[in-house]
Amino acid sequence: MDLGIAGRVALVTASSRGLGRASADALAAEGVRVVVSARGAESLHRTEQELRGAGADVFGIVADVADPEVPQRLVTAAVERYGRIDIVVANAGGPPPGRALDVDDDAIRAAVEANLLSAVRLVRAAVPHMRTEGWGRICCIASYSVVQPLPGLSLSNTARVGLWAWAKTAAADLAAEESGITVNLACPGPHATERMRQLAGSGGGGTMGDPADFGQVVAFLCSRQAAFINGAAVVVDGGATLAL
């Protein structure tokens, strides 16, 4: 299926590996010009080389999306490079495990900065450019914990559900404007990534999904055909959650 987004410009954060990388790969395969970012220069450079080797138009920026100033800087750099920004895939590394009564204020703040506020800041920075074009796709990578909190992952549970509530509200606000911009969450369950292997002792074992398949879901949510999918949390977990 042609997703109708060839020539569009996407910013994908935390995209040198894992589900962010899979999302960047899937968008690039659709002819999207992709701005990738990550904290590690070496892994980001490797990602750039591999995407270019596959024929993609890609631009890499070393940055920590949890830094409050970085989201605006990434959006500005994308617009300066390509003249526009059409798609934002907001992703960040997940916080460490921890029981709800054991995590302290600093840990909660760090999780909220990385896994909630970073996405909010990216959206705020990108939406004015999307409004100008009358079209935009925003996909926040969250977790299946938005529908069923996960034992031992209190920090992730807290930040992800907060992001879901904010994104649902933002989606309605933008729909009321008839802006042409959608906001959705892609909520992965266990996938074969480094993060999930690290969590294997915290309930992250068992059958895992293919990150490449998850990337295809993200690409569809960013497509022309997904214009009427808005304010949705699309759970991609192989049936792991039991919540209705």
Give the predicted TM-score (pTM) of the model: 0.94
pLDDT band at 30 (very low <50, low <70, confident <90, very high): very high
Q: How many Å apart are CA 181 and CA 175, to the nearest integer?
A: 7
- At the second CATH level, the architecture of 9-235 is 3-Layer(aba) Sandwich (3.40)
Q: What is the mean pLDDT of the segment spanning 144-166?
A: 96
Cα–Cα nearest to 75, from 129, 14, 15, 8: 129
What residue spans define the domains of the chain?
Answer: 9-235
Work out whether strand 9-12 and strand 87-90 pair parallel, antiparallel, or are unpaired. parallel
- Surface-to-core class of residue 179, CB atoms within 10 Å of its CB (0-12 exposed, 13-18 middle, 19+ buried): middle
Q: How many Å apart are CA 77 and CA 125, to the nearest integer?
A: 11
User: Residue 235's pLDDT is what?
Assistant: 97
Q: How many Å apart are CA 145 and CA 189, to the nearest integer?
A: 8
Task: Kindly tell me if the per-residue pLDDT of 201 is higher than 60.
Answer: no
Q: What is the mean pLDDT of the segment spanning 11-22?
A: 97
Look up tokens 């220069």; give the residue: 41
Cα–Cα nearest to 30, from 180, 224, 209, 188: 224
Cα–Cα nearest to 16, from 58, 44, 56: 44
Give, to the nearest 10 degrees, the angle between helix 118-133 and helix 154-176. 20
Q: What is the mean pLDDT of the segment spanning 10-37?
A: 97
Q: Which amino acid is at 5?
A: I
Q: In terms of pLDDT, which residue wins out, 222 or 207?
A: 222
Q: How many Å apart are CA 177 and CA 5, to the nearest integer?
A: 22
Going along the chain, which residue ranges are E strands? 9-12, 33-38, 58-62, 87-90, 136-141, 181-188, 233-236
